[in-house]
Amino acid sequence: MIKTDELEIKAGRGFPLGVSADENGVQFSVALAFADTCTLILYDKLKKTEPVCVKLDETYKVGDIFSCIISADGIRESRLDCEYMYEVNGRLYADPYAGLIRGRDSFGKKGKELRCGFALDKYDWTGEKRPRISYDEMILYRMHVRGFTKHKSSGTANRGTFAGVSEKAGYLKELGVNAVLLLPAYDFNEIMDDADAFGMPEHIPGTDADIRTSDIKVNYWGYTGDCAYFAPKASYAASPGSCVREFKDMVKVLHSAGIEVLLDMHFAKDMGYGMILDCLRHWVYEYHIDGFKINSDVVSEELVKSDDTLKSVKFISCYWKRENLDGRLADYNDGRMINIRRFILGEEGQASEYAANYEPAHDGCKSIWYAADINGFTLMDSVSYERKHNEANGENGLDGTDYNYSSNYGTEGTARKKSINEMRRKQIKNALTLLMISQATPMILAGDEFGNSQKGNNNAYCQDNAVSWLDWELLRKNSGIFEYVKSLIQMRKEYIIGKRAKRGNTAAENNNDMPEISFHGVLPWIFDYAPYSRTLGIMLSGCGLYIAINMNRCDETFQLPILSNDTKWEEMLWTEKKPEIKWERGIQKSVIYAGTVAIYKSAAKD
């Protein structure tokens, strides 16, 4: 509690910004370039007393930073019962560096007045095991913390929370993913028409006007300007006020399961570089975060490369400059998703494009590939809908991309015909196979491994309901897809597919100097680059795999390349039915059925 009779205040050091504590007391520091004075307001939750107001003038100013230290006797160890805000010219402001936010404890509901809390308690990281996974070995899983377990079918005790994710750690491990990328999990204001409590002119702007409407709308994804970037989202906690501990518990549990944790940090456009770096360091040091997806229009590669404290942290973004990179940065864009979707649709020019981009550029920048992301259709919807169905968003269908590269295969939405559902499952397997055999880092959108649907909504940013929540009943219904994805991931790990790095001459002899990666057509060593080509063979000689892709509408007979005189090819995985291998004069051939992919492994001849 706050003991006003023992409140001893003195000038602070200025840094670190936010709230920090030592044996001398609690320091409050906030940057306010636009103010000559400010008032620190301290609230005692347990007592119905007037708040304590501490006026800070030039005496407490270091540059543009107001800073004061309140003695340890003034604020007891029961800091969880204390809150604070700043007042400038009659307006209340939240601390942009606040490590805990109160007043947004229930997602999608207007809570009580927002205030900052204290997040100073020590956490016991004993027993934590940091996975330290390279991009070459990473299998990334993109999820929304709330939507992952909020549906009643999730079977978790703490639905829609950090604790709920912890409960699903065993599932993620069984699936085989070893890294999760969380949509914004810092505290943001999802009520779009609320005022911005962090609207200090030089820090964080309000929510963009173009997404405000006269009706109350929920920003489910969290890409808003009204954010507390240093605080875990309070409404993602199973117990009020416990978000800091529960977030750390989640990281510890996932790390112990061999799973890294990466955060999507969408910084405001006018946010200062100093604050950005402070924020990234905060999440690395306080929460043991392994990497970040950031918006490169705000955070440059020069900035993240310049900080020695972030050398071991991964960064993912769109369109890096790709200059003097060191393997910590990865490129993330829709190009490969579009290629995969158009390839399985049998469109022209896609086989050669897939081959051309199969290996990431050797410039130190890694690549993230995916077949679906939050923008656009889920993988199931990409094979179930011809057009978007965003009516529930209330924007007259004008939101969301019109280019989905999708097909409904005869029925828009849910189908009863067995043949249509079989086609859809096959196409999902095709897409995920093309994803998993690539040399890039593959990313799965949460739920795609069991056919999750958003009912055709390709921009569900405002849908906090069953549209966006994962329906875990589909895991049972589409168990075949799930088991296939598990097998793909296991194969990728076992054969270390992501580390094949040497592309050879596709016309090279197949005897002595065998290239690690080579491309073929229906005949070995002859790849058809014509736009109408829809067949592709990929041999990874270093790990003894051959992938045959036939996106034609008719069956094709592939002659399998000779890996060595004492080996043969055996069927390993296939997306529809097991392909038939036959021998002709010592040469193996296999019929690859129309619109399917088959993977073969090398084995010793009998």
The CATH number of the domain where 15 resides is what? Answer: 2.60.40.10
Question: Is pLDDT of 503 > 60?
Answer: no
pLDDT for 82: 86
Same domain, yes or no: 491 and 530: no
CATH number at residue 570: 2.60.40.1180
Q: Does residue 127 sit within a domain?
A: no
pLDDT digits 0-9 by tens, 239-280: 988 999 999 999 999 999 999 999 999 999 989 999 999 999
- State how far the Cα of 461 lies from the Cα of 188, in Å rounded to an integer: 14
Residues 88-117: what's their mean pLDDT? 92
Is 290 a domain residue?
A: yes
**Together in a domain, 332 and 192:** yes
- The whole-angstrom separation of Cα 365 and Cα 369 is 13
CB atoms within 10 A of CB 175: 18
- Indicate whether 121 belongs to any domain: no
Q: Mean pLDDT throughout 577-601? A: 95
Residue 327's pLDDT band (boundaries 50, 70, 90)?
A: confident
Query: Same domain, yes or no, for 258 and 280?
Result: yes
Domain span at residue 577 reads 501-604
pLDDT at 23: 82
Query: Is the residue at 85 inside a domain?
Result: yes
Number of domains comprising the chain = 3
Do residues 186 and 211 both lie within one domain?
yes
Question: Once rounded to an integer, what is the mean pLDDT over residues 452-481?
Answer: 97
Query: In terms of domains, do 513 and 401 share one?
Result: no
Most confident listed range (25-39, 61-75, 176-190, 324-338)? 176-190
pLDDT at 93: 94
DSSP H helices, 71-167, are 145-149, 162-167
Same domain, 490 and 508: no
Helices (H) and strands (E) counted in the chain, each on its own, are: 12, 29
Residue 248 and residue 286: Cα distance in Å, rounded? Answer: 8
d(CA 526, CA 522): 8
What local confidence, expressed as pLDDT, does residue 197 receive? 62
Residue 36: the pLDDT is: 92
Q: Mean pLDDT in the chain?
A: 90
Q: Which are the contacts of 13, defined by CB distance < 8 A and separation ≥ 6?
A: 27, 29, 62, 67, 69
Q: Of 498, 516, 536, which residue constitutes the final position of a domain?
A: 498
Q: Which bin fits 595, alpha (ψ -120 to 50), beta or left (φ > 0)?
A: left
CATH code, 179? 3.20.20.80
Question: Strand ranges (DSSP E) for 339-477?
Answer: 366-370, 441-445
Same domain (yes/no): 156, 305:
yes
Whether residue 9 contacts residue 68, with contact meaning beta carbons closer than 8 Å, is answered with: yes
Determine the average pLDDT of the residues in 193-213.
Answer: 45
The verdict on pTM exceeding 0.85 is yes
Q: Which of 472, 498, 524 is the last residue of a domain?
A: 498
Rg (CA), the chain: 27
Query: What pLDDT was estimated at residue 24?
Result: 81
Q: How many residues does the chain have?
A: 606
Confidence check: pLDDT of 375 > 90: yes
How does pLDDT run across 512-563, given as a tens digit for each residue? 478 999 999 999 999 988 999 999 999 999 899 999 999 999 999 999 999 8
- 181 with 314, same domain: the answer is yes
| pLDDT value at residue 194 | 62
Q: Are residues 534 and 385 in the same domain?
A: no
pLDDT at 80: 53
Least confident of 17-31, 162-176, 452-466: 17-31
Q: What is the mean pLDDT of residues 321-339?
A: 86
- Asked if the model's pLDDT at residue 156 lies above 60, the reply is yes
Confidence at residue 365, expressed as pLDDT on a 0 to 100 scale: 87
Copy the structure tokens of residue 6: 């023992």
Residue 404 lies in a domain: yes
Average pLDDT over residues 194-203: 53
> Does pLDDT of 162 surpass 70?
yes
**Residues 528 and 437 both lie in one domain:** no
Residue 156: inside a domain, yes or no? yes
CA distance 94 to 80: 17
Quick one: pLDDT at residue 500?
Answer: 57
The rounded distance, in Å, linking the Cα atoms of 270 and 297 is 11
pLDDT band with cut points at 50, 70 and 90 for residue 97: very high
Share of the chain above pLDDT 90, in %: 78
Tens digit of pLDDT for each residue in 135-149?
999 999 999 999 999
Confidence of residue 211 (pLDDT cuts 50, 70, 90): very low
Least confident among 78-82, 208-212, 353-357, 564-568: 208-212
pLDDT at 203: 37
Same domain, 444 and 552: no
* Same domain, yes or no: 46 and 12: yes
Q: Using 50, 70 and 90 to split pLDDT, how confident is the model at 488?
A: very high
Q: Of all helices (H) and strands (E), which one includes residue 337? A: helix 335-344
Least confident of 33-37, 259-263, 284-288, 566-570: 33-37
The pLDDT value recorded for residue 88 is: 95
111 occurs within a structural domain: no
User: Does residue 470 have a pLDDT over 50?
Assistant: yes
pLDDT of residue 324: 62
Structural domain includes residue 130: no
For the cut 50, the answer to whether the pLDDT of residue 182 exceeds it is yes
The pLDDT assigned to 315 comes to 95
Q: Which of 498, 515, 533 is the last residue of a domain?
A: 498
